[in-house]
Amino acid sequence: MDERESLARRFEGHRSRLRAVSYRMLGSLSEADDAVQEAWVRLDRAGAAEIENLGAWLTTVAGRVCLNMLESRRARREEPLVRVPDPVVSFAHGIDPEQEALLGESVGLALLVVLEELTPPERIAFVLHDVFAVPFDEVATVVGRSPAAARQLASRARRRVRGASARTDADPGRQREVVSAFLEAARGGDFDALLSVLDPDVLLRTDRGSASADAPSFVRGARDVASGAMLASGLVRSAQVALVNGAAGIVSWGSGGRPFSVMAFTVEGGKIVAIDVLADPERLGRLGLPAVDD
C-alpha cells in the first residue's frame, strides 16, 4: 500500500463524522458532501506527516470550509425568507446505517431551521462545541476568534436555540399516530379533526425557494394552518407518512408523480406545535425521492 492510499484509508475512517458535522453546519446534503470532499483535497495536498491529530485537523478544515460556504450564501442574498434544510427521508420503519451516522443523536428538522437563523460564526461555534464537543481552543481556530469570543458565540447561539426550538415527543409510535391523524384529516377535508391534533398556537414554516413567492412563508394558529392543509390537499396526488430526520413526517407527490413537499412535525403532548415544510421543487428534485405513477 503506497502512502497516498494509506492516507485515503485513514480519511475514510473520518468521513461519516465529517459529513455529520458538515450537514449540521450547512443544512444541505449536497453541500455537506462538497465540504467533505474539499477536506480530502486539502489533506491530500498537505499530507499527514506533520498532523498529530488527524480527526481534529479534518474537523477544523471542514469547519472553515463550511464557514466560507455559509458566508458566501448570506452574501448572495438568494435565500428565501424561510430556509428549511435538506431533510433526511426514509420510508422504512427505521433509518439505514448511513443515515444513522449522518443524524447521530436527534437532529430534528426544527432544530436545523433554528440554526439557519444564526450568524455563520454562531452556527459553527454551536455545532462544533455543543453538538460535537470540540474544545473552544479549536473552535476559535475555525471561526478566527479568540477562545473567549468563540465561547460567547456558542453561548448566544445556545440561548436562541433554547428559546426557539421545541423538543418532539420521544415516543415514535405516538409521533406517527398524531401525524397519521393529521394526514387522514387533511385528505378527508375534516376541519375539526385537524384542529384536534393541532396546538392552538401551532407555527407552519414553508420554504418554497423562488417558487410561489407571494404565498406566506409563516402561518400561525390552528385554524389558519388547518385551512391551508385542506387547500394543499387538493394539489396532492399521493402522500404517505415517512421518517423525516428520524421523526414522523409526511412526503407528498403532485402532478406528474413528482415530489410536492416534505413535512416535518414537532409534536408535544400529543399536539402538533410546529410544521416545517420543504416545497422548493428544485431542492426536492435533488433529494432522490421516488416518483409515483401518474
Question: What cell numbers appear for 130 in the block?
Answer: 455543543
Q: Show the DSSP H helices in the chain as ranges.
A: 3-26, 29-46, 54-76, 97-103, 109-116, 120-126, 136-143, 147-164, 172-188, 191-197, 222-233, 281-285
CATH 1.20.140.160 domain range(s) in the chain:
3-97+112-164
- Provide CATH code, domain 172-285: 3.10.450.50
The residue to which cell 416535518 is assigned: 264
Task: Please report which confidence band the pLDDT of residue 126 belongs to, taking 50, 70 and 90 as the band edges.
Answer: very high
Q: Quote the pTM value.
A: 0.83
Reported as a pLDDT band with limits 50, 70 and 90, residue 2 is: confident
Over residues 23-35, the mean pLDDT reads 93
pLDDT tens-digit profile of 238-253? 999 999 988 889 999 9
pLDDT at 183: 95
The pLDDT tens digits of the residues spanning 41-53 come to 999 998 877 788 9
Pinpoint the residues of the chain covered by CATH 3.10.450.50.
172-285
pLDDT of residue 160: 85
Q: Which of 73-77, 93-97, 153-157, 172-176 has the lowest mean pLDDT?
A: 93-97
Q: How far apart are CA 94 and CA 140, in angstroms?
A: 37
HSE toward the beta carbon, residue 27, CA cutoff 13 A? 23
**Separation between Cα atoms, residue 135 and residue 150, nearest integer Å:** 10
The length of the chain in residues reads: 294
Q: What pLDDT is recorded for position 102?
A: 61
User: At the fourth CATH level, which superfamily is domain 3-97+112-164?
Assistant: PhyR, sigma-like (SL) domain (1.20.140.160)
Contacts of 241 (CB under 8 A, 6+ apart): 176, 179, 180, 183, 248, 249, 250
When mean pLDDT is compared across 45-54, 108-117, 160-169, 201-210, the lowest value belongs to 160-169
* Exposed / middle / buried, residue 268 (Cβ in 10 Å: 0-12, 13-18, 19+): middle
